[in-house]
Chain A
Amino acid sequence: MIKKNFAFVLLLIFFSSCGKDGKDTRLVSIGISSDIQSASPVYSFGVSESILFEHTNLGLVGHKWDSAKGGLTDYPLLAEDWKWNESRDEVVFTLRSDIKWSDDKAFSPEDIVFTYSVYSNPVVQSSFFGMFDKFHTLENGQIDIKNTFEIISPQKIKFKFVKNSNPSLLETDLPIIAKHIFEGIPDSLISVSDAIFKSCGTGPYKLKKWERNQYILLEKRKGHFLVNDLSPSRIILKVIPEYFTRKNQLLTGEIDVLPEINTEDIYEFENRKDLNISAMQGRYIDFICWNNVSPEAFLKDSVIPNKYFGSKDIRKALTYGINRKMILDEFLLGRGSVANEPVSPIFKDNYSKSTNFSYNPKKALAILKNAGWQDSDNNGILDKSGQEFSFTLNFVTGKPLREYTANIVKSDLKKIGINVNLEPLERGVFLEKMYSRQMDAFISGWQVPIPLHIKPYWNSDLKKYQTNTSGFMNKEIDQLLDKTSQTNDPAELKRIYNKIQNIIRENQPVTFLFWIDNFSVYSSKIKNAEVNSLGSVQRCWEWEVR
């Protein structure tokens, strides 16, 4: 009897402890796939860090995505007002007077100057290095502080940009770090100092606790100008690497937000009344990259056309020969759109749609025959001058969409007499081969940056721009890309981007596959939350938890 009673008491205590976390009804828990690597924005390399620092470390201004116009709109954060000079190369910010660091120290314009100095310092190796080409810089790339900043008063600071560099507020939105945390640390030691693990910010939330590879707990700063009573009192970023586990945690109510769900799970979530699905046309694109240059020659610092993909006609034929719509419909259940250009449809003004290059194997075959590729030995594979049209298509392992696409590509191209060998590669190996342009063809993807900036992907300087992975070179494109950073006139930008897209379509350096829609799921207790082109978790202080 005593034994039974003891067991009963133990069980009672045990199960009474098994309740859900706390009684905080305004707590919002978000499932993320990877942990942050530092608590300071100096080293903000991933999505998790972006989410954290948006809430802990404000910039002078913020940007919202305006779906209607397909672009960004500015809103004030640390600066309550700003004024450009007539030539638009200087801007004076008036800072809010009610800002304090999360450790209660006073915020000052000195912090802003210090932040930009640290971010642009090559020795520090910050993730923001290389983003200051519109600022006055020293030889090593660091911002020339004297010629760039002028502290007019404790509430006013002036930014002075290079003449005719066409700066915008996007240059001034970086998260500000606290000078008093980093002061005294040699530049070369910042990356390994304790300071990067100390969170100190001016945002509406402060980092309360960080359990490595477990969770990041943010707490609302009462009285902060961005929060109200309905804002989440605490935000938990729960690190759950496995998608299956994140999904189950959402289904059991252990998390409230799951960004970027798999398309096949939509139906499962649609039937749940306690969950809302938010959908957004994506800016993420998958593509097949045809190496325009010879891998062997590139290794020897020489650029000669690839024996298969050096000709734009061949690349066009390959695009005609692949049934992209079928992959989209079968694997992504039609949730996306076939892509033919490097500019996402979300950029409404600058996107030019084209329906060319629909699946047409006959046309593909005709182009190949015109180019001299014929099946002279009747083995089912085209050949030219004794060389069979046979190449290796690489892709990263562990990505089901890419694996499926690769198999369809192999099967489609086989129909027009091209032999494709599939070779999945581990991510690290894949990246090394991709950046050194040592693959013939591969399936990859990228997210078009906001604001629209595609120069690094298409500029002909192959040494400087590793992200031009196809090795495509076109002087006209280079000139047009330079012009995009020299104007803010929407009509002019539209004209330039239309031309760029036409040239790229005409040359088909890659075969664009599809723009993939983005779906995120939110608990119905959260109002005002939705996925947009900037992401699924943003400005959480505007969420209302009821």
Chain B
Amino acid sequence: MKKYFFPLLRKVFNGIITLFFLICLIFLLLRLAPGNPVHKFVSPEFSPELSEKIYNSFNLNAPLHEQFLSFLANIISLNFGISYIYRQPVFEVIMNYFPFTLMFAFIVFFIQTAGSIVLSLYSFKKKNCWQDIFFNKFSLIIYSVPTYVLAVLLILFFSVCLQIFPSAGINSFNPEENNYFRFAAEKINYLFLPVMTLSIIGTAYFYRYLRENMDMTDSAPFTLLLKSNGLSRNGILIKHILPNSVFPLISVAGIEIGMLLSGALITETIFALPGMGRLTVTSILQRDYPLVTGCAFVSGLCVILSNIAADFIKSVIDSRIAGDLIE
């Protein structure tokens, strides 16, 4: 375990530095970008004096360097301030949305990973048969479909035509009246379409990656050696080809899970889901500077952590790269 410690520590340290620069950059970009958070309050009767008072109450009238120093002082204690639109501490607002995103992201990630492995194995076993050709072509088509198109198609088919699944939301209006089983069934019912939207496309993406790796591994000299030694085809596939093919996928999966944890904006908007993607975009459009910074911090943190996790898993699988894992 010791051999992982220092590389991991170095990676964590690099992550903290990256995160620090990320939120500093976000802070500066927000202040330089056009737009004014007070404009959402402007109404015909709204006086410029009150407008200025609100602006000042957001501490936006102070010189940029003063704002930046105060921002840095707060960031050290992980205090992102009060959200302009939610009127609550940024951390509390994010905590209202992040648990859903966490659950949603892991369900999607699990389905797309498991789905792609099963499909790749099946397709590989049927190599050059019509099933293999079909999956290869079909995955390309699915991968090329924009998320919103697939979401709309799924809604039209399952929700409007068949009326099996609800088209938006995450629960009914009386979840407290449900028992646990009904509660779980209801969650599955409401999340089915959004999860499918993301995981179908994700599965196609992982499938293409994995399937290609399997072909490359299959043509590697060591596979030929194993075949010549008389090992069974299934044994080679499960014990040698699959692990070697999954290995490069781990890095891609690390990025993918990080992106999912940052929020899936289009899916969340179409299906009215209360996730980080929707929160981030709302905060950007409303010029809620503290919340934008908080969301960027969480997104950055998720991407960095998932990458560290991916590197760590890779080093555990292949101890040869433990030392330089993370270079």
User: Which residue of chain B is the closest to A236 with respect to CB atoms?
Assistant: B173
User: Do B159 and A252 touch (CB < 8 A)?
Assistant: yes
Residue A456, interface by CB 8 Å:
yes
Set of chain A residues within 8 Å of B270, measured between Cβ atoms: 242, 244-245
A14–B192 Cα gap in the complex (Å)?
12
Contact in complex: B87, A248 (CB < 8 Å): no
In the complex, which residues 236-295 of chain A have their Cβ closer than 8 Å to any Cβ of chain B? 236, 238-242, 244-245, 248-249, 251-252, 254
> Of B34, B44, B181, B186, which is within 8 A of A457 by CB?
B44
Contact B36 A432 (CB under 8 A): yes
Is B185 touching A18 in the complex (CB atoms < 8 A)?
A: yes
Minimal beta-carbon separation of B185 from chain A (angstroms): 3
Establish whether residues B48 and A463, one from each chain, have CB atoms under 8 Å apart when the complex forms: yes
A456–B45 Cα distance when bound, in Å, is 7
A504 to chain B, nearest CB (A): 16
Q: By the criterion CB–CB under 8 Å, are B169 and A215 in contact? A: yes
Given contacts A212-B96, A466-B42, contact A37 B34 (CB under 8 A): no
Known pairs A214-B274, A431-B35, A432-B36; A254 contacts B167 (CB<8 A): yes
B-chain residues with CB within 8 Å of residue A130 when the two chains form the complex = 45-47, 50
Q: Write the B157-187 contact mask toward A (1 if CB under 8 angstroms, else 0).
A: 0011001111111111110010001100110
Does the CB pair B272–A464 fall under 8 Å? no
B147 CB–A CB distance under 8 Å: no
Contact size range, A: 35 or more
Q: Are A248 and B45 in contact (CB under 8 A)?
A: no
Taking CB as reference atom, which chain A residue is nearest B34? A429
B125 is an interface residue with CB less than 8 A from chain A = no
| Interface residue B321 (Cβ < 8 Å from any Cβ of A) | no
A12 to B43, CA, bound (A): 54
B24 close to chain A: CB less than 8 A: no
Interface residue? B40 (CB, 8 A) = yes
Closest to A46 in B: B40
B39 contact set on A, CB distance < 8 A: 428, 431-432, 435
Q: Does A8 have its Cβ within 8 Å of any Cβ on chain B?
A: no
Closest to A454 in B: B44
Q: Does B41 contact A (CB under 8 A)?
A: yes
24 A-B contacts, Cβ less than 8 Å apart? A14-B188, A17-B186, A37-B86, A130-B45, A130-B47, A131-B45, A191-B87, A192-B82, A212-B97, A213-B274, A213-B278, A244-B152, A248-B160, A249-B167, A252-B163, A428-B39, A431-B35, A431-B39, A432-B36, A453-B44, A456-B44, A456-B45, A465-B44, A466-B51
Give the interface of B toward A (CB within 8 A). 34-36, 39-48, 50-51, 53-54, 57, 82, 85-88, 96-97, 152, 155-156, 159-160, 163-174, 177, 181-182, 185-186, 188-189, 269-272, 274, 278-279, 285-287
Where the two chains meet, the residues of A that have a C-beta atom closer than 8 Å to any C-beta of B are 13-14, 16-18, 21-22, 27, 29, 37-38, 43, 45, 122, 125, 127, 129-131, 191-192, 196, 209, 211-215, 217, 234, 236, 238-242, 244-245, 248-249, 251-252, 254, 426-429, 431-433, 435, 449, 453, 456-457, 463-467
Contacts beyond the supplied A18-B186, A213-B278: 11 A-B pairs with Cβ under 8 Å: A125-B57, A191-B87, A211-B171, A238-B272, A249-B166, A428-B34, A431-B35, A432-B39, A449-B44, A463-B48, A467-B42
